[in-house]
């Protein structure tokens, strides 16, 4: 350790040299004094006393210059012993002040038998107080060495603490930067998932979410579907760039004309959705007519004159009427189709006569209640394969209904109807029981069963599930529960508790259709999950849309970072398979690997364990459903 001695008397320098020469003396009393003086047991430090390197300065100016040189060399002094009276140069007080200005960390020891300054004056000028000390002349050898030893140990500790603080501060800054970056990435991902890339307007997902929120209120509102007339002609004659420009132009007009507080969303292609409050059907129809007029006329598109026009389908909510978002959009679409059939360029308000499906829905609801008893329901199983060797690790159970009167009915048709009534619970119990039976035929794969939001919110859902697997004699880890973000977002705290209980019991949890609901890092952290299932719409768009590919890669990287599996649904081409493998997707599912198959074929696939040739998949001629919907 480097020690600086500043004194104008040569004899004092000799005394310092003798003081710091190796000695063997009993310093117990001084150790106790040091402990009392410095507030810690510095006596123990004498057992490992540092080696001192002394620098001698005869005047204050010389001492200040020595400190300055030491700092430049990167080898500062730990302690400086300074005499107060050093004529004719600067006195000890001024020397201490200048040294302190150069080195805030050095410990100063004022050594004097008489001073023109009180200790308080020197401390105020050259403090802080915990870095300035005093020794009276004449001093004892052990007193000087004890002081130097204690202060150098403290100096080392201060430097180590300062370095630790610097490292900690750098880590805090790094964490803050990472947090900001993560928040920015999440914000961009949410924006991409909820906005149309061409117009920056809300997309179908955002429109559906806003409509769902509005449907929960008591206000009366209108839902309108807008479709451009003869838009294909613009694309065919002027090119897609002109078509894109026309869509942006019409979107701007709709946003300018929508009633205050309304929402304009691009649903896809040349179709837009409108949502706005209204006092009644007549007022809403007048608003749509005004909007339609603004969209009609001649527009300049990339230097070309284009004749614009549109058709609108309208539905207005009525008191006491069903406000199901899907049904409202479907009815507005039916009205739009009617407007198109009647010559375009008009507003058509929905009426019950347009909906032939209403009678079909009633017939389906009646038929569903008898479907189990009649033996009309069946399950098919679609393999879920691991990335590397295409090993079959599980099967998703998918529900099929083949009626006597109407033939096969798509799950996309009958599941929403069952969801609106208690029939979904009866169907769900049957699906779970049948799915558990097949596990005995498989050598180790799990079965993945879809649960609708209404089932998930069912009273004693966990207890019923546990009872079912116990009755079947099945280990919980061979059952994967597939739920959508809609099922857990309505009551996030209850859902988090339910999922935690299921995970504790060993069940696997998959978040289905990830990216189409309220996707956020908050949800992923909050809920106990095993894997994310990327919605097939993103997989289908990977080769055509940069946004879809970016979302797929983001989900895969997010899943890997959080230690979650990622299942890509709807893999239908070799190119998709290879792209997903390269991106690091852990599991795949889709027609390229295998269509949903009957129980006996699933058993053969399970026993074979691997999909050897994806280009020659298992084809189930009897199953042509696309696999959409809660059970499809």
Cα(368)–Cα(372) distance, rounded to whole angstroms? 8
- Return the pLDDT at 61: 93
- Return the pLDDT at 33: 56
Q: Which fold is adopted by the domain 376-608?
A: TIM Barrel (3.20.20)
- Return the pLDDT at 595: 94
DSSP state at residue 477: G
- Return the pLDDT at 43: 44
Q: Where in the chain is the domain with CATH 3.30.70.270?
A: 204-355
Helices (H) and strands (E) in the chain, counts: 23, 21
Q: Where in the chain is the domain with CATH 3.40.50.2300?
A: 2-163
* Bond prior to 138 in cis (omega within 30° of 0): yes
| Beta-bridge partners for 4 | 55, 80
H helices within 322-410, ranges in order?
Answer: 325-341, 357-374
Q: Which fold is adopted by the domain 204-355?
A: Alpha-Beta Plaits (3.30.70)
Q: Which residues of the chain fall below pLDDT 70?
A: 22-49, 113-119, 320, 322, 357-358, 489-490, 516-523, 615-632
Q: Which two tokens stand for residue 317?
A: 């909510």
* Bond prior to 250 in cis (omega within 30° of 0): no
Q: Which of 249, 226, 230 is nearest to 347 (CA)?
A: 226
- Return the pLDDT at 626: 45
Q: Which two tokens stand for residue 31?
A: 């150790």
Q: Which two tokens stand for residue 220?
A: 């009366």
- Return the pLDDT at 620: 46
**DSSP E strand stretches across 229-364:** 263-268, 271-277, 297-301, 304-308, 310-316, 347-349
**What pTM did the predictor assign?**
0.50
Tell me, rounded to whole angstroms, the distance of Cα 582 from its chain centroid.
Answer: 22
CATH 3.10.129.10 fits 2-163, yes or no: no
Q: Where in the chain is the domain with CATH 3.20.20.450?
A: 376-608
């Amino acid at each position: 350790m480097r020690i600086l001695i500043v004194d104008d008397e040569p004899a004092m320098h000799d005394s310092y040299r003798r003081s710091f020469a190796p000695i063997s003396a009993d310093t117990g009393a001084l150790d106790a004094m040091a402990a009392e003086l410095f507030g810690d047991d510095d006596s123990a430090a004498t057992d490992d006393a540092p080696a001192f390197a002394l620098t001698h300065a005869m005047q204050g100016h010389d001492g200040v210059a020595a400190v300055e040189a030491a700092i430049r060399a990167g080898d500062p002094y730990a302690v400086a012993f300074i005499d107060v009276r050093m004529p004719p140069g600067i006195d000890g007080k001024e020397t201490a002040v200048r040294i302190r200005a150069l080195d805030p960390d050095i410990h100063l020891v004022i050594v004097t038998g008489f001073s023109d300054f009180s200790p308080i004056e020197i401390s105020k000028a050259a403090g802080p107080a915990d870095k300035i000390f005093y020794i009276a002349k004449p001093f004892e050898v052990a007193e000087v060495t004890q002081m130097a030893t204690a202060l150098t140990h403290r100096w080392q500790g201060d430097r180590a603490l300062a370095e630790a603080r610097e490292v900690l501060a750098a880590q805090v800054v790094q964490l803050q930067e990472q947090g900001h970056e993560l928040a920015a990435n999440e914000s961009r991902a949410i924006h991409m998932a909820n906005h149309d890339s061409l117009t920056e307007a809300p997309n179908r997902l955002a429109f559906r979410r806003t409509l769902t929120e509005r449907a929960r209120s008591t206000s009366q509102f209108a839902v309108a579907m807008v479709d451009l007339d003869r838009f294909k002609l613009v694309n065919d004659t002027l090119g897609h760039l002109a078509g894109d420009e026309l869509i942006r132009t019409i979107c701007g007009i709709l946003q300018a004309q929508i009633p205050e507080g309304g929402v304009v969303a691009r649903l896809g292609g040349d179709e837009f959705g409108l949502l706005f409050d209204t006092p009644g059907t007549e007022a809403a129809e007048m608003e749509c007519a005004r909007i339609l007029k603004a969209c009609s006329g001649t527009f300049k598109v990339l230097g070309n004159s284009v004749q614009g026009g549109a058709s609108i389908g309208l539905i207005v909510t009525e008191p006491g009427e069903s406000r199901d978002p899907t049904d409202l959009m479907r009815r507005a679409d039916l009205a739009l189709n009617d407007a198109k059939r009647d010559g375009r360029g008009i507003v058509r308000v929905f009426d019950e006569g347009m909906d032939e499906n209403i009678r079909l829905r009633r017939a389906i609801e009646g038929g569903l209640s008898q479907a189990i008893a009649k033996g009309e329901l069946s399950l098919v199983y679609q393999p879920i394969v691991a990335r590397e060797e295409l090993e079959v690790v599980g099967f998703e159970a998918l529900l099929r209904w083949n009626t006597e009167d109407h033939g096969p009915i798509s799950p996309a048709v009958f599941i929403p109807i069952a969801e609106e009534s208690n029939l979904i619970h009866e169907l769900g119990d049957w699906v779970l029981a049948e799915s558990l039976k097949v596990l005995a035929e498989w050598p180790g794969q799990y079965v993945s069963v879809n649960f609708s939001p209404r089932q998930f919110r069912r009273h004693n859902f966990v207890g019923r599930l546990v009872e079912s697997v116990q009755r079947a004699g099945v280990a919980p880890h061979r059952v994967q529960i597939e739920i959508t973000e809609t099922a857990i977002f309505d009551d996030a705290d209850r859902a988090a508790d339910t999922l935690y209980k299921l995970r504790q019991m060993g069940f696997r949890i998959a978040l289905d259709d990830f990216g189409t609901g309220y996707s956020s890092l908050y949800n992923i952290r909050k809920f106990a999950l095993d894997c994310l299932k990327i919605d097939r719409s993103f997989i289908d768009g990977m080769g055509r849309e940069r946004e879809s590919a970016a979302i797929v890669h983001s989900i895969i990287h997010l899943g890997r970072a959080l230690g979650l599996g990622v299942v890509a649904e709807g893999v239908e081409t070799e190119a998709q398979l290879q792209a997903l493998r390269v991106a690091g997707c852990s599991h795949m599912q889709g027609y390229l690997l295998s269509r949903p198959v009957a129980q006996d074929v699933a058993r053969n696939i399970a026993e074979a364990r691997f999909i050897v040739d994806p280009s020659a998949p298992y084809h189930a001629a009897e199953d042509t459903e696309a696999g959409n919907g809660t059970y499809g």
